[in-house]
Structure 1
Amino acid sequence: MKKQLQCLLEKRAQLFVSKDGRNEEEAVERKRRLFEKRGAEIVRCTINSQIISKYVMEKEGRVIYLAHYQFLVKHGTEMYVEEQVEKRKAYFERGELMKDEKVASAEPGTAHPRLEREMLMDERISYEYDRAKAVRYAETWWNSYNPAFPRFEVNCTNFVSQCVHAGGAPMTGYPNRAKGWWCKNSNWSYSWAVAHSFRWYLSGTRVGLQTMEVSSPEQLMAGDVICYDFQGDGRFDHSTIVVAKDANGMPLVNAHTTNSRMRYWSYEDSTAYTPNIRYKFFHIIDRK
């Protein structure tokens, strides 16, 4: 099965660089449309697999694996590598591949309680935000997990929180899970790990970390944060951190869950994307 799986991935990689018109695979076509819209080109694509589990019974088999995509991108005079890792499941009958699909993940926890707003009393919490350190952390851990922190099936906001904290943003609110932004002693605030709570924390924080919401992605810098409401229903589902800008001055981001590096900020190539998507762009104030 491993040989058939690698053959499948090699054929799929070729689809991303094919010049032969539209593609029947929706995910591939979505990616290609986004790059065409940007004026960018996928010069080369490679996909490697890592099998997580394998089940074989008589003439049927099932493999759960990680597919690691590497896209060599040409944008104007610049070239860079975008990477993504997604969890997939392949089904076989009599040694023949019958179905291959992405494994969906669920948001950790279902409750998104209203966060208590912290009031600044006599204490002032100062900090200096080091964007280079935040980006360095995002580059180090984009496809792995720091054992000093908890890990979730949907890990995007936990990852971005770690990056921002690595840049010097202070934790506040411990041990109240509905207050502030913190991760200590094997526990964490809702805002640390849940995308919707994180979005509201960034909008309303008055102690410690300070942000300014801006109107467009061009205004963001490396180390800033983007929050995503894929359905446009008011509930935010995803968080990313800006690590670079492309040739047009638009953000490239790192993220977890579908682990991604140097991915274009809009996520129009994502299976979660809908035309109703809404974004929040947060510029982190460097010094307080």
Structure 2
Amino acid sequence: MLLIISPILNSFSYISASAAYNSEGAVSYANAWALDRNPNYPSFSADCTNFVSQAMHEGGTLPFDKQNGWYCEKVLWWWNWGTAWSVANDLYKYLSNSQRGTILGKWNPDQQTDTNNNLKRGDILFYDWNKDGTYDHAAIVVDYGRDAYRPDIIGDLQNQHTTDYYHAV
């Protein structure tokens, strides 16, 4: 089962997807490419959703869905991709489609003092940095533990691109 998490500036909403998804494979891919770009894909200046889509496709074994805009392909010397592949808000809409998943709820650390125990390895996080209802960023949960760069932080560890960083949520 794929669990998609959507933080609205640290608020999370859950989407459970029914498609076959290899969450451990997605985590392995995310760990392998968290601090680098896979040369088999285009690289964007805002690369977060491209990175998450790659993890879902390459490691998570989800097939391209060209009809619904979730694909990335090289044609001769240029790249074609759909907005669901490369734009966080469009990926969120794609995954929350009733045929691919169901929104289950939200989590907001400002309203809850404990950790989010529902997060699992391979879950996808969406962030609304501007609090405008549009998701601006995507990341993938890779573990629960101590942040290697900030040992005082323990929590759900995520990998992401744009500013390549591995840290606790």
Task: Give the TM-score of the pair, scaled to structure 2.
Answer: 0.70
Q: Cα distance 1:211–1:228, how it changes in 2: closer, same or farther (>3 A)?
A: same
Is residue 255 of structure 1 aligned with residue 147 of structure 2?
no
Aligned Cα root-mean-square deviation (Å): 2.2
Q: What is the distance in 2 between the residues matched to 1:192 and 1:136? A: 19
Whole-angstrom CA distance in 2 between matches of 1:131 and 1:249:
21
Q: Distance in 2 between matches of 1:143 and 1:249?
A: 21
Q: Which runs of 5+ in 1 are unaligned?
A: 1-125, 266-288
The aligned length equals 132
Deviation of 1:153 after TM superposition, in Å, equals: 0.5
Which structure carries more strand by proportion? 1
| TM-score, scaled to structure 1 | 0.42
1:132 lines up with 2:24 in the alignment: yes
Do residues 237 (structure 1) and 136 (structure 2) align? yes
Find out whether 1:187 has 2:80 as its counterpart: yes
C-alpha separation between the residues in 2 aligned to 1:170 and 1:131? 14
Partner residue, 2:64:
171
Whole-Å separation in 1 of the counterparts to 2:42 and 2:119 = 28
Match of 2:9 in 1: none
Bigger relative contact order, structure 1 or 2, given CA contacts below 8 A and separation 6+? 2
How far apart are residue 218 of structure 1 and its match?
A: 2.4
1:246-275 superposed Cα distances (whole Å, 9 cap, x missing partner): 3799421000011011x122xxxxxxxxxx
Given candidates 44, 47, 52, the residue that maps to 1:152 is: 44
How far apart in 2 are the matches of 1:249 and 1:205?
Answer: 34
Cα pair 1:218 1:250 within 8 Å, conserved: no
Once the two structures are superposed, the pairs formed by residues 1-288 of structure 1 within 5 Å of their partners are: 128-165=20-57, 166-174=59-67, 179-185=68-74, 186-204=79-97, 206=99, 210-214=100-104, 215-216=106-107, 217-246=116-145, 250-261=155-166, 263-265=167-169
